[in-house]
Amino acid sequence: MTHATSRPISIRCARGVLPLLLAAAPLPALADPPAPSAATAPKDDGQWTMPAKNYAATRYSELTEINGETVKRLQVAFTFSTGVNRGQEAAPLVVNNTMYIVTPFPNNVFALDLTKPGAPMKWEYQPYPEAAAQGVACCDVVNRGAAIADGRLFFNTLDGNTIALDAATGRELWKTKLGRINLGETITMAPLVARDRVIVGNSGGELGVRGWLAGLDTANGKVMWKAFATGPDKDVLIGPDFHPFYDSDRGQDLGVKSWPPDAWKTGGGTMWGWTTYDPDLNLLYAGTANPGPWNQEQRPGDNKWTAGIFARDPETGAAKWFYQYTPHDEHDYDGINEILLLDMTIDGKPRKVLLHPDRNGYLYELDRTNGEVLSADPYAYVNSITHIDLRTGRPVMNPAKATRLGTVVRDICPTASGGKDWNPSAYSPRTGFLYIPHENMCMDWEDVQANYIAGTPYVGANVVMKAGPGGNRGEFTAWDVTNHKPVWSIREDLPMWSGALATGGDLVFYGTMDGWFKALDARSGQQKWAFKTGSGIIGQPVAYRGPDGHEYVAVLSGVGGWAGAVVSGNLDPRDPTGAIGFLGVTGDLKQKTTPGGTLYVFALPPQ
Amino acid sequence: MAKHYEGNPHAIDDGKRLFSWYNCDGCHFHGGGGIGPPLMTGHWRYGGQLDQIFESIAQGRPNGMPSWQGKLPAAQIWELAAYVKSMSAPTATNGPGQPVPQTAAPPLAPAPPPTSVTPATQSTPPP
């Protein structure tokens, strides 16, 4: 049954409850909104083969059957229990009338036959990862999904394996061990297929690991290259082809020299988020996560190449350029959030850009051919950075929010989890808006001495998070990418941990941590439909065309992740420092949702 | 052995220091839990008697708790166990089931709200 009583915090006005509208006047008639290139966003075939939908990472479906007129009739078509009550962050994939789901640890994979009533199971694959991997996963035992290409399904396991399956039968084709849990390495990211490489990176930035990104041969799983995010140039795959835009990224072995002696060996810079690829430029884009430990006094220097983004050759891994969003990060601002590829006209000139809403609260627009920052605007409440200096590319930090040993620095915004965390935005080429699911939170932070013991946390900070200005912890903002400003914004009470989906029906979808799955008008932000699922939603919604020719929308429900660990791990919020500070801001979540793991698929009722 | 350490204030004090020293707080924090389960609830996956807590630390447990036997002297593991057990113990100032004061945590006095506002939270009337 549909339901429409969900009430995002919004402004009441004469026309009733409307989302917070920020444009003072109707926009003048403009040229078509920016669009991705054909190579990065081919015409929609109704499938969903990778979590981001396409290399442009728009998470935009061209399907129009479910729209502002029809969505009020949207109802459940079928459900499926994943059998795992931990945080469900994966995107369901749809290829050849089959739906594929990867669960959190133990990372079981299910194929569901969409041609039959109720979508019965076609096959299941169980990788049986090592149970001890759960003890080195910083932020719940999540998995962000699979990728499918040429009849093969690729996914990662928490204990550090990449596995290829025959998508038709579930038969294992190859399995490659990449991560070592005894060093604190896990893998939680969704792999990316670029040409004949599967791109995989590690997690473990809170356990003193050394971050890396690897390119595996899709045919046999052989590791063709592995690029570290710290250490000497030869380990980072920096060579003669490396041409960073800014002076501060030029020099020999900066991955060693920008650290105290040997600190780069436990310096983080993992890659657990989103990578993407531009076939025209033959460039692979991959961010790097926070430096470790969090206690910044233990690692003076820029800490290259953490908290930034590399462009690489996907065949060889060779670095082409790098840009560091947050040099010497001291607030856990990883650089691994989603990267959207758009072709835009800027100052009358066509530019190939990438958009990246970073953990540090700024939305970056980079020239993706060379790494030049074209603009950087705050999309969330930020007081730790005053602005981004476009001449040097460096953020100008607010010294009052610098973290220190033995001092509690209060009200740093955004939190360690960022203006937004991993949960990806969507972009509609019809509206020209980027739909950003994000946070509105701040934190108190005290640096403490971190001791390195392999396979245990290496953080060195006491953190307590809290709601940001206004008291709401989450927000869903439509951002006009041409005019660099928010158009409307929905305030959500709970932290926002679900991804966004935009459709040709001019709707946007997202979920809340208490289980509401919502559809909004993509232009006005007005809520058009909502459904209460069994558990909080932290997954990635998708849309696809079923074998019957009709549009379906799918999402996994099951709270968890860093933000929902209080529920999925049954933690005790009386200790606000728990879950690296998230217990301070999720003390009420156990009263609002329970653990779960269920796929929900929605469609319009048959006429 | 357990009798000597259980409720022993010196052992609990030493255990608290070791708890941070050996990164136990990286997973269990100040009792609320994170990677590892909470330790302040009075509910125990593998038993809450002092010798059972000792065993959990010494042997490790299959879902991620590492084994510390051979890395730490047994006396330190007993002190850790005594501290861990104390986290859920009722005290004179805290009724049964109430948390032990978390002196290591940052103080939590409410702070004044930040004053500046981002574009995304400024409101203008709808057109």
Q: How many domains does chain A fold into?
A: 1
Report pLDDT for B105. 41
Q: Is residue A2 part of a domain?
A: no
Q: Cβ distance B32 to A571 under 8 Å?
A: yes
Task: Quick: pLDDT tens for A190-236.
Answer: 999 999 999 999 999 999 999 999 999 999 999 999 999 999 999 99
Task: Quick: pLDDT tens for A435-444.
Answer: 999 999 999 9
DSSP string spanning A232-251? -HHHHT--TT---SSGGG-S
Task: Quick: pLDDT tens for B84-125.
Answer: 999 998 754 444 344 444 444 443 333 333 333 333 333 333
Q: Which of A132, A451, A574 sits opposite B64 (nearest CB)?
A: A132
pLDDT of A44 above 90: yes
Task: Quick: pLDDT tens for B17-41.
Answer: 999 999 999 999 999 999 999 999 9
The whole-angstrom separation of Cα B33 and Cα A280 is: 47
Mean pLDDT along residues A312-335: 98
Q: Is residue A589 part of a domain?
A: yes
Is A454 exposed, middle or buried, given 0-12, 13-18 or 19+ CB atoms closer than 10 A?
A: middle
Report pLDDT for A6. 38
Q: Cβ distance A257 to A237 under 8 Å?
A: no
The whole-angstrom separation of Cα A129 and Cα A258 is: 36
Report pLDDT for B81. 98
pLDDT of A81 above 60: yes
ipTM: 0.92
Say which CATH number the domain at A539 has.
2.140.10.10
Q: Is residue A3 part of a domain?
A: no
Q: Is residue A15 part of a domain?
A: yes
Task: Quick: pLDDT tens for A360-390.
Answer: 999 999 999 999 999 999 999 999 999 999 9
A-proximal residues of B, 12-51, CB under 8 Å? 20-23, 26-27, 29-38, 40-41
Distance from CA of B29 to the nearest CA of A (A): 5
Q: Is residue A193 part of a domain?
A: yes
pLDDT of A23 above 70: no
Tell me the pLDDT band of A607, cut-offs 50, 70 and 90.
confident
Q: Is residue A1 part of a domain?
A: no
pLDDT of A556 above 80: yes
Task: Quick: pLDDT tens for A250-278.
Answer: 999 999 999 999 999 999 999 999 999 99
A-proximal residues of B, 57-116, CB under 8 Å? 62-66, 99, 102, 104-108, 111-114, 116
User: pLDDT above 70 covers what percent of chain A?
Assistant: 95
pLDDT of A484 above 70: yes
B-proximal residues of A, 553-582, CB under 8 Å? 565, 569-580
Q: Is residue A17 part of a domain?
A: yes
pLDDT of A3 above 50: no
Domains and CATH numbers, chain B: 2-89 (1.10.760.10)
Spot the catalytic one: A332, A365, A439, A492. Answer: A332
Report CB contact under 8 Å: A575, B126: no
User: What domain range is A357 assigned to?
Assistant: 11-603
A464 touches chain B (CB under 8 A): yes
Mean pLDDT along residues A583-601: 98
Mean pLDDT (chain A) is 95
Please list the alpha-helical segments (H only) found in chain B. 2-5, 9-21, 24-28, 50-59, 74-86
A440 touches chain B (CB under 8 A): yes
Hey, is A442 helix, strand or coil?
strand
Distance from CA of B13 to the nearest CA of A (A): 19
Report the amino acid identity of residue A37.
S
